[in-house]
């Protein structure tokens, strides 16, 4: 029912490789929105973690400091199968505990900095993320082995795409992880928005609404690429502030909600056409209390560098704004697979959502709540 095979902006390279062969092959450093002041009611921890889920770190910190889970917060979730750094805050006005560098013997978690600040760290409180990625066993998808492929020719094709990506950016697709395994989040979103199920868990409701909103955005973006409009402005384009623009890098697509589409003429016609088959989702999101908003269709890339390593592995690094996905960069020059893993995110420990479930049976979740989830 759901189409997740969205078109690419750049020529197909037929390259394939392995992502996250080991955690060190995928490193993510959070770029904070602010620097803690050094005093205040909230403890701030800059943490480095390896093969640990962000939710689980928050759970461990709540137990360590003896506070409720909703008193521990972070700006965004980071990959488990990776080496990542990020900030956490703990509301602890009367608690003065200096953690040791490695406070959890059974987990690969390191405290890099401990300080204080006057405000809670909230979802979306980050500028973006820096990525340092190693792709291994690169070869042509048409070759049975690396030896059978012309690796130098393949490198040249990849290089062409990398140069174009560095200059022009990539489609600002939402990553597949947003839609759940096998599109499960979309199935739940459709059932919820058409009244077939009632979701009382506020965080799950937010997740499903975000998935539906993201899917419509991706569909509109995909249509522009299919029509040869990548990197080109379209009559009726507007920027995130809903102002007319003829700058292709500032063009946007809808994040669906209440109110009319602000786009005009050709852009409006395209967006209306792509949303027609998804009216159940659109109508449901309007009634859920989300406001009509916009998101850039181009993801600009900062400080992009790459180098070829031994064994024809590729090391690439770049920075992306908050809410933009590294997978959107990778898919424009290579198809990647990851090693098979047992997807027990908490290594046998019970899954616990960050934050408490909504006690009220709320029928709406406002745009601010969704935006914080979408800016992770």
Structural element, H or E, at residue 267: helix 265-275
**Burial environment of residue 59 by CB neighbours within 10 A (0 to 12, 13 to 18, 19 or more):** buried
Q: Which of 25, 29, 71, 79 is catalytic?
A: 79
* Residue in the block written with tokens 């997807």: 343
In contact, 117 and 40? CB cutoff 8 Å: yes
Q: Which two tokens stand for residue 190?
A: 């459709």
Secondary structure (H, E, C), 209-257: HHHHHHHHHHHHHHHHHHCCCCCCCCCCCECCCCCECCCHHHCEEEECC
Q: Which residues, other chains included, contact 324 with Cβ-Cβ below 8 Å and sequence gap of 6+?
A: 128, 172, 299
In contact, 257 and 292? CB cutoff 8 Å: yes
CA gap 18, 187 in Å, rounded: 29
Give catalytic status of residue 79 as yes or no.
yes
Q: Give φ, ψ of 112 to 5 degrees.
A: -85, -40
CA gap 160, 156 in Å, rounded: 6
Mapped onto helix, strand or coil, the DSSP state of residue 11 is: coil
Q: Over the range 216-233, which residues count as b (16 or more CB within 10 Å of their CB) and which as e?
A: bbbbbbbbbbeeebbbeb
* Residue in the block written with tokens 């505990």: 97
Dihedral sign, Cα of residue 298, residue 303, residue 308, residue 313: negative
Query: Which of the residues are catalytic?
Result: 79
């Amino acid at each position: 029912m759901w189409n997740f095979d969205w078109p690419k902006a750049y020529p197909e390279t037929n390259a394939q490789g392995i992502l996250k062969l080991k955690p060190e092959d995928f490193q993510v450093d959070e770029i904070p929105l602010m620097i803690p002041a050094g005093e205040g009611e909230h403890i701030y921890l800059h943490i480095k973690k390896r093969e640990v889920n962000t939710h689980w770190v928050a759970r461990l910190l709540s137990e360590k400091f003896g506070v409720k889970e909703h008193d521990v917060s972070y700006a965004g979730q980071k990959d488990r199968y990776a080496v990542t750094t990020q900030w956490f805050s703990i509301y602890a006005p009367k608690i003065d505990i200096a953690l040791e560098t490695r406070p959890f013997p059974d987990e690969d978690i390191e405290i890099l900095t401990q300080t204080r600040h006057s405000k809670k760290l909230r979802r979306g409180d980050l500028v973006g993320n820096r990525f340092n990625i190693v792709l291994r066993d690169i070869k042509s998808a048409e070759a049975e082995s690396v030896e059978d492929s012309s690796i130098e020719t393949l490198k040249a094709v990849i290089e062409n795409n990398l140069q174009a990506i560095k200059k022009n950016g990539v489609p600002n697709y939402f990553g597949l992880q947003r839609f759940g395994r096998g599109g499960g989040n979309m199935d739940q979103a459709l059932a919820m928005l058409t009244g077939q199920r009632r979701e009382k868990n506020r965080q799950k409701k937010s997740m499903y609404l975000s998935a539906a909103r993201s899917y419509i955005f991706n569909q509109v973006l995909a249509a522009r690429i299919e029509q040869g409009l990548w990197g080109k402005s379209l009559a009726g384009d507007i920027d995130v502030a809903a102002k007319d623009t003829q700058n292709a890098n500032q063009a946007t697509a809808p994040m669906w909600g209440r109110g009319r589409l602000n786009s005009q003429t050709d852009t409006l016609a395209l967006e209306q056409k792509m949303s027609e088959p998804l009216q159940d989702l659109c109508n449901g999101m309007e009634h859920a209390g989300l406001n009509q908003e916009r998101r850039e269709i181009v993801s600009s890339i900062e400080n992009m560098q790459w180098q070829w390593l031994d064994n024809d592995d590729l090391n690439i690094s770049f920075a992306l704004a908050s809410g933009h996905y590294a997978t959107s960069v990778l898919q424009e020059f290579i198809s990647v697979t990851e090693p098979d893993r047992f997807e027990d995110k908490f290594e046998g420990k019970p899954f616990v959502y960050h934050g408490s479930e909504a006690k009220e049976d709320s029928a709406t979740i406002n745009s601010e709540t969704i935006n914080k989830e979408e800016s992770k």
